[in-house]
Structure 1
Amino acid sequence: MKIICTFTLLMIPGVLSSISVTGYSGGGVSITCRYDRGYIDNEKYFCIGEQVTCSQLIKTKEKNKWVNSGRFSLYDDTRAAVFTVTIRDLSERDSGTYQCAAAISWDIDFYTEVKLNVVTGE
């Protein structure tokens, strides 16, 4: 049985937030990241690594439309000021640190840290 866990994160400028997420090998997780309404028009993205070395995995292209890239999907719901990232077909090698991010300026973005732990389970 595959289980999808949903977690909501809040992205507020000046506030560092972090959450731990557990997923099961072969299953998927859905991560919902909230952002300040002032950033509705900004690009949102999901990346792997620490803030300084974060490598983008997927980013918004159009508002209120799903974007798919391999096992990753992203939807920016500007009416609700949230974006949702789904990771499918998890494996233990997906465990690590990720970031939900809103592009704010050329040198500073706002991040919410996501610690993903993928375990083998039924």
Structure 2
Amino acid sequence: MKIIWTFTLLMIPGVLSSIRVTGYSGGGVSITCRYDRGYTDKDKYFCRGQPVTCSDLIKTDKKNGEKWVGSERFSLYDDTSAAVFTVTIRDLTEQDSGTYRCAVDISGNIDSYTEVKLKVVTGE
């Protein structure tokens, strides 16, 4: 049985928040990230790791007009009219457990992000 958990995150520059997300092995999770309307033209990304070493798993490219990107088990859709972007991770395994960032790329400034702690468990 695949269960999808959806969480909404509020992203405000200068404010760091942290949430915990639980998903099931073999299933998927969707994470909805809100951002300031002033950042609709900025790239959005989802990465894994600590702030300095966070490696991008998926990222939009606003220069090419991308609002949706998909890569292997990850997808990201930026709904600029609602100022939210949604990251979906499919086919979860216990190795996916860890710390992630749901972020807006703000050139010349510290990126606005919310920390996401994902725990993947086995079970129904």
**TM-score (norm. length: structure 1):** 0.95
Question: In angstroms, what is the RMSD of aligned CA positions?
Answer: 1.3
Aligned to 1:12, the other structure's residue is in SS state coil
2:36 corresponding residue in structure 1: 36
Residue matched to 1:102 = 104
Any conservation in 2 of the 1:51–1:111 contact (CA below 8 Å)?
no
Bigger strand fraction: 1
Alignment partner, residue 50 of structure 2: 50
Whole-angstrom CA distance in 2 between matches of 1:104 and 1:120: 37
Q: Could you say what secondary structure the match of 1:89 adopts? A: coil
1:62-73 mapped onto 2 (5 Å cutoff): 65-73=67-75
Segments of 4+ moved more than 6 angstroms: none
**How far does residue 50 in structure 1 lie from its aligned partner after superposition?**
1.1
Q: Distance in 2 between matches of 1:106 and 1:47?
A: 19
Deviation at 1:104, TM superposition (A): 0.5
Tell me by how many angstroms 1:65 deviates: 3.6
Give the C-alpha shift of residue 66 in structure 1.
2.3
Q: C-alpha distance in 2, partners of 1:32/1:64? A: 18
Measure the CA separation in 2 of the matches of 1:112 and 1:65.
20
> How far is 1:86 from its partner?
0.1
Corresponding residue SS for 2:41:
coil
* One-letter amino acid of the counterpart of residue 98, structure 2: G
Gaps of 5+ in 2: none
Aligned-residue offset at 1:64: 6.9
User: Bigger shift: 55-64 or 109-118?
Assistant: 55-64
Question: CA contact under 8 A between 2:13 and 2:111: conserved in structure 1?
Answer: no
Q: CA deviation at 1:107?
A: 5.3
Per-residue Cα deviation, 1:15-52 (whole angstroms, up to 9, x for no partner): 11110000000000000000001111000000000111
